[in-house]
Amino acid sequence: MKIGDLFQTNKTVLSLEVFPPKKESGLETIYQTLQELESLSPDFVSVTYGAGGSGGCNATLEIAKTIKERYGIEPLHHLTCVNNGQKDVAEILQEMKKAHVENVLALRGDLPETGEAVPDFCYAKDLVAAIKADDHFSVGAACYPEGHISQAIDQENYQHLLEKEQAGADFFISQLFFDNDCFYRMLEGADQAGVTKPIVAGIMPILSKAQVQKMIFMCGSSLPSKLIKLIHRYGEDPVELQKASLDYAWEQMSDLIAHGVDGVHLYTMNRPEIALKTFDYLRGERH
């Protein structure tokens, strides 16, 4: 099923993200995670590509294929253009077709520190257009409630979103954020810019003080004072911090659903208990 079509019902689309485990852990670890997530019946599960030193790009397709075949859940295969030229992309798409994977999240990927150029596709929109040349695929793209970390001018955020839609993006998934108002502001800005495709909210619960520090610097996401106080209070107690932060994430998701957002995407960090504790309640709440 094409993910773009899922938004045609009035229900909030609920989805999860996993990443390929490091090579030494082997793929079986991710299958154990997926087995635990299966009971949540997410509308789709996305699999990252080449991010964060994970276990190789081929693993993404292998996992996406298994999500479809073994668990009967729709996979969303992330794909970046930083490491892939036209020929590579054509080959990867061919492999996806053979595996009946029909949903791709088209991304630029983070530029290497050497600042090397992207081979053939400069921006994600160019990759979106290349994938959409084949109508086998439904294509998603990334969006940023607080702008991309490297983007200087706020207004460009919406222009780039519109360009991705014009290139053929069927839906968007957002960068993680902790302040729902940032997401609502982006929805307004996107609407004013003429973006019409569904926009899914990306939520990542905080698991440790170190993780949140890393995330702030990687993504530029702002922290509301409620969350800062919570980290201050439980920062040295990982168990209590996790409990409080799962409550926070759950409140964030409930509020998003109450606002009638198109979808909520939970970054599981391959920790099934995060999804089990927050996601299950949402099924009863969504419209």
How far apart are alpha carbons 110 and 107 in whole angstroms?
A: 9
Query: Cβ of residue 253: shortest distance to ligand FAD, in angstroms?
Result: 16
* Alpha-carbon distances, residue 108 vs 37, 79, 119, 144, 231 (angstroms): 28, 8, 11, 14, 32
**β-bridge mates for residue 199, sequence order:** 172
Query: Cβ of residue 240: shortest distance to ligand FAD, in angstroms?
Result: 29
User: Whose Cβ is closer to ligand FAD: residue 141's or residue 241's?
Assistant: 141
How far apart are alpha carbons 49 and 30 in whole angstroms?
A: 14
The amino acid at 80: T
Query: Cβ of residue 108: shortest distance to ligand FAD, in angstroms?
Result: 3
Describe the crossing of helices 28-38 and 272-285 by its angle, rounded to 10 degrees.
Answer: 20
Q: Where are the beta strands (DSSP E) in 90-218?
A: 103-107, 138-143, 171-176, 199-203
Active-site option among 17, 102, 163, 165:
17
Q: Beta strands 13-18 and 263-267: pairing type? A: parallel
The amino acid at 106: A
Known catalytic residue at 17: yes
Q: Are 40 and 75 in contact (CB under 8 A)?
A: no
**Structure tokens given for 238:** 């990982």
Q: Are 277 and 242 in contact (CB under 8 A)?
A: no
Binding residues for ligand FAD (CB under 6 A): 48-51, 78, 80, 107-110, 123-124, 142, 148, 150-151, 156, 160, 163, 173, 175, 202
**Structure tokens given for 267:** 């970054």
Query: Cβ of residue 239: shortest distance to ligand FAD, in angstroms?
Result: 29
Q: Are 78 and 113 in contact (CB under 8 A)?
A: no
Query: Cβ of residue 280: shortest distance to ligand FAD, in angstroms?
Result: 22
**Residues classed as catalytic:** 17
